[in-house]
Amino acid sequence: MKTSTPRRLAGVAVAVTAAVGLTACGSAGSGSGASSADYTIWDPYPQFDGNAAWTKLVESCGDKAGVKVKRTAFDTTDLTNKVLLAAQQGNAPDVLIVDNPVVSTLADAGVLATTDDTKIETSGVDPNLLGAGQLGGKTYGTPIGANTLALFYNKTILQAAGVDPASVKDWATLTAALAKIAGTGKKGITFSAIGTEEGSFQFLPWFWGSGARLDQLDSPQGAAALTLWSDWLKAGYAPNSVLNNTQTTSWQDFAAGNVAFAENGTWQLGNAKKLGFEYGTITVPAQHGGAAPVPTGGEFVTVPTQKDAARYATDQKIVSCLTSPDNIYATDTTLSYVAPAAAVQQKQAAADPALQVWVDAVHAAKGRTSDNLGTKYPKISEQLWTAVQATLSGSKAPAAALQAAQASVGKG
């Protein structure tokens, strides 16, 4: 196992914080320390109290493993910092549930044990989802579920514009649909292009859908994707507010009934049921057709490196229980996630046919740290959202903005 010095762990805190993606949020939970006989689980779900089904599941998995489990919940960013400090002090939790982009950074710092060490089974997990937890040929945990992006649409607006959502197959047909919608006085599409990880997250389906790669930001394909968004703003198909939109404020614009399409995620499914109009969903189209690769959100269940390797056997039992097909189905329904295994995805879609679009999107999805980017991703993402902001604000042409982004990444 790779070891980590306190200095190195402290140094990765900034990178980890920048890589944090889109998960449940809320006030940090609290908990007292546990004895060595206890097994501890830290998670980013402070919205679940001691009576919640998730908490009961954690406790029952401890019971089945023959141990007492103590759960502590934190806000996502707080959790990351707590884990780094705990690893530095040599008292990391036994099981850690963490946002998937953080996994490779923690693994690189030597904080996480590999599945070879823990014997956690991952053979049933979709390979594209498992990729978010892999680095240097090693796997560090297993996904508990995935959320991702698709296009919601307002059926009323599309009908008034004479647009059949089934006709949207690629960028050309989507842009043609936006032009028709503009003729009705409505905005065609909204998204989040804010200068944060949310902006990169929302741009990636278009970037990857062009055939571009994150290890070469300034490719012609990447410029084509940025030109697409820029052209939409210039034509008035997308509102200028996208420059400052978070995914929440973007959704609010859509919910107000003024925009035909909204790029947003599975986490909005509960809110979608409260809309005052009929809606539908389609996958984000790739440039030349088919579903674009979309970035995966969601968490991984991992096992931090332990001083006493004998604890891994019980850790494995707890993780296997938490991620069993039946438990994953219940958990992912609660969290509005798509399951990481095909068999459970089929069960989800059978129970709610509207989820099939999201299952299709997850099948096309890709981890943000995939392609062995690992700890490089936070800086790449920052330069990507900076390029998007520069172009959409009119300060730089797409190609020039991406060339500057690539040059900045190369200096790191």
Q: Could you report the per-residue pLDDT of 180-227, keeping only the tens digit for each? A: 999 999 999 999 999 999 999 999 999 999 999 999 999 999 999 999
Distance, in Å, from the CA atom of 219 to the CA atom of 399, rounded to the nearest integer, reads 8
Model pLDDT, residue 412? 57
Are 60 and 138 found together in one domain?
A: yes
Contact residues for 410 (Cβ-Cβ < 8 A; gap 6+): none
CA-based end-to-end distance of the chain = 27
The reply to whether 231 falls in a domain is: yes
Are 129 and 212 found together in one domain?
A: no
Listed residue (248, 299, 320, 334) closest to 80, CA to CA:
299
Are 176 and 137 found together in one domain?
A: no
Are 48 and 137 found together in one domain?
A: yes
Considering 325, 345, 363, which residue would you say is the last residue of a domain?
363
Model pLDDT, residue 81? 85
Quote the tokens at residue 209: 């859908």
Are 401 and 268 found together in one domain?
A: yes
- Residue 411: is its pLDDT beyond 90? no
- Residue 145: is its pLDDT beyond 90? yes
Please state whether 301 falls in left (phi above 0), alpha (psi between -120 and 50) or beta: beta
The reply to whether 233 falls in a domain is: yes
Are 80 and 142 found together in one domain?
A: yes
The reply to whether 132 falls in a domain is: yes
**Mean pLDDT lowest for which of 188-192, 284-288, 329-333, 370-374?**
370-374
The arithmetic mean of pLDDT across residues 286-305, rounded, is 96
Model pLDDT, residue 333? 85
Domain count, the chain: 2
The reply to whether 368 falls in a domain is: no
Listed residue (58, 256, 292) closest to 157, CA to CA:
256
Are 288 and 312 found together in one domain?
A: no
Are 344 and 383 found together in one domain?
A: no
The reply to whether 1 falls in a domain is: no
Are 64 and 101 found together in one domain?
A: yes
- Residue 156: is its pLDDT beyond 50? yes
Look up residue 262 and give its amino acid.
A
- The percentage of the chain sitting over the pLDDT mark of 90, rounded to a whole number, equals 81
Are 176 and 261 found together in one domain?
A: yes
- CATH number of the CATH domain containing 333: 3.40.190.10
The reply to whether 338 falls in a domain is: yes
Considering 327, 345, 363, which residue would you say is the last residue of a domain?
363
Task: State the residue range of the domain holding 331.
Answer: 6-146+296-363
The reply to whether 57 falls in a domain is: yes
Model pLDDT, residue 379? 93
Are 241 and 272 found together in one domain?
A: yes
Are 203 and 138 found together in one domain?
A: no
